[in-house]
């Protein structure tokens, strides 16, 4: 007969608590789910058998007297799964008990579209949602008026049933939720006619929301307790409102800054001009200084987007392109020739300048591409 004390490495006069402590340590070391060594499974079986015998006072007494510790059971090992769990964690599966009918509700997500002005200055909205709400007829209990849940006749209120299966360590007892009551331990024999026992119904409701200034696509606003009510009248989850910003007709957002492109004639660029540009705050005047070069920008302070959780605003950056007339009448042609002559300009004086990659790329290049899509 095997030396079960030697397998566990304990003295013959060790107490039950000492044996359990040693088994926990060895079981964690040799459990097949933890130790991939092929020999670990056999070692785990040995120490489990040793623990089964030495942790049971009657089996241990028969073993100490030189008898067969399993003789009373016809040689079968009836080691419960709860005992293994108790050795690992100090408690078996039988302590789980029935699950509660009242559970927290799920979170919900809804997307809200905003135009650029609403994203900049904030707005108030009303969300019209269909969601789960507490059943008013039964107040969330799920029972018809005057009735209440009864104890499940299958699991006797435990919420679980037990099943014995054979494994490498003998017969193992496992527990699973009771199929008759779905693990609740009780049965609603007379359910509410409105919610069919769930404690909640689908309904539409209007939820007001204040959207702060400066939000942008992808921002989420959390509304605590505005999600779905849980089964059995449980607390509601949260509602998350995700912002989707609608593209503006001519303004392009880049973080807290806004960009707009305007085109002016070459005479305005040469002589200077004042141009009215539409902004989120209404028309604003843009001053074009004499000799303005095409591709340069004019920056208007505090006309960009409001900063989220801040008191300042970004800039409105005006990109200016200068156009050259493609068709001239005789009078206009003569005037331009006279201008060129008076300035001493000649076509052969034109020089070619190589533009750096940094000059051709950058935000304006991306902005122009986005604007022309």
Question: Which residues pair with residue 166 across a beta bridge?
Answer: 171
Does position 54 have pLDDT exceeding 60, yes or no?
Answer: yes
236 by DSSP, 3-state: which?
coil
Tell me the pairing of strands 220-223 and 239-245.
antiparallel
Instruction: State the Cα–Cα distance between residues 72 and 56, nearest whole angstrom.
Output: 13
Contact 49, 68 (CB under 8 A): no
pLDDT at 307 over 50: yes
Helix-then-strand count for the chain, H and E: 10, 15
**What is the chain's Cα-based Rg?**
40
Task: Residue 127: name the closest of 112, 147, 141, 139 by CA.
Answer: 112
Does residue 199 contact residue 233 with C-beta atoms inside 8 Å? yes
Torsion from C-alpha of 84, 88, 92, 95, nearest 10 degrees: -170
* Tokens, residue 316: 């409105």
CATH architecture, domain defined by 252-372: Sandwich (2.60)
Fold classified for 104-140+197-247: HSP40/DNAj peptide-binding domain (2.60.260)
pLDDT of 77 higher than 50: no
Task: Give me the mean pLDDT over the 237-247 stretch.
Answer: 95
Task: State how far the Cα of 304 lies from the Cα of 297, in Å rounded to an integer.
Answer: 15
pLDDT 10s digits, 167-222: 655 667 777 888 889 899 999 999 999 999 999 999 999 999 999 999 999 999 99
Residue 334 to residue 332: CA distance in whole angstroms: 5
Mean of the per-residue pLDDT values of the chain: 84
The pLDDT confidence band at residue 55, using thresholds 50, 70 and 90, is: confident
CA gap 56, 48 in Å, rounded: 12
* Domain boundaries for CATH 1.10.287.110 within the chain: 4-77
- Element holding 171 (H helix, E strand): strand 170-177
The closest alpha carbon to 169, from 7, 313, 36, 50, belongs to: 50
pLDDT-based confidence at 52, cuts 50/70/90? confident
Residues of the chain with CATH 2.60.260.20: 104-140+197-247, 252-372
Q: How far apart are CA 39 and CA 36, in angstroms?
A: 9
**For residues 209-229, b (16+ Cβ closer than 10 Å) or e, as one string?**
bebebbbbeebeeebeebbbb
Please give the average per-residue pLDDT across 3-28, as a whole number.
Answer: 87
Q: Are 217 and 225 in contact (CB under 8 A)?
A: no
Correct CATH for 4-77 of 1.10.10.10, 2.70.98.20, 1.10.287.110, 3.40.190.10: 1.10.287.110
User: What's the pLDDT score for residue 169?
Assistant: 58
Q: Yes or no: say if 11 and 20 are a contact pair by the CB < 8 Å rule.
A: no
Average pLDDT of the segment spanning 273-293: 95
């Amino acid at each position: 007969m095997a030396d079960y004390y030697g397998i566990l490495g304990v003295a013959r006069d060790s107490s039950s608590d000492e044996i359990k402590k040693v088994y926990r340590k060895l079981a964690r070391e040799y459990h097949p789910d933890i130790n991939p060594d092929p020999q670990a499974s056999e070692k785990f079986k040995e120490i489990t058998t040793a623990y089964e015998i030495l942790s049971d006072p009657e089996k241990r007494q028969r073993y100490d007297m030189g008898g067969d510790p399993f003789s009373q059971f016809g040689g079968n090992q009836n080691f419960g799964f709860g005992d293994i769990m108790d050795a690992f964690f100090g408690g078996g599966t039988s302590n789980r008990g029935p699950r509660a009918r009242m559970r927290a509700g799920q979170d919900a997500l809804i997307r809200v579209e905003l135009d650029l002005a609403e994203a900049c200055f904030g707005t108030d909205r009303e969300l019209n949602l269909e969601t789960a709400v507490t059943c008013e007829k039964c107040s969330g209990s799920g029972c018809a008026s005057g009735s209440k849940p009864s104890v499940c006749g299958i699991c006797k209120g435990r919420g679980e049933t037990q099943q014995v299966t054979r494994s490498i360590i003998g017969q193992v007892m496992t527990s699973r939720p009771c199929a008759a009551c779905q693990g609740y331990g009780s049965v609603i024999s007379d359910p509410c006619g409105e919610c069919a026992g769930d404690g909640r119904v689908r309904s539409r409701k209007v939820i007001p929301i204040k959207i702060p200034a400066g939000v942008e696509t992808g921002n989420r606003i959390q509304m605590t307790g505005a999600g779905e009510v849980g089964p059995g009248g449980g607390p509601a989850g949260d509602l998350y409102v995700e912002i989707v910003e609608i593209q503006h007709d001519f303004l392009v957002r880049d973080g807290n800054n806004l960009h707009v492109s305007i085109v002016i004639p070459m005479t305005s660029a040469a002589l200077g001009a004042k141009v009215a540009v539409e902004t989120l705050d209404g028309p604003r005047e843009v001053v074009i200084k004499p000799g303005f070069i095409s591709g340069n920008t004019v920056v208007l302070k505090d006309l960009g987007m409001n900063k989220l959780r801040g008191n300042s605003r970004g800039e409105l950056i005006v990109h200016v392109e200068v156009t050259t007339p493609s068709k001239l009448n005789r009078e206009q042609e003569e005037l331009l020739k006279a201008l060129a002559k008076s300035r001493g300009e000649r076509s052969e004086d034109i020089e070619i300048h190589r533009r750096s990659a940094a000059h051709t790329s950058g935000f304006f290049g991306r902005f122009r591409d986005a604007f022309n899509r």
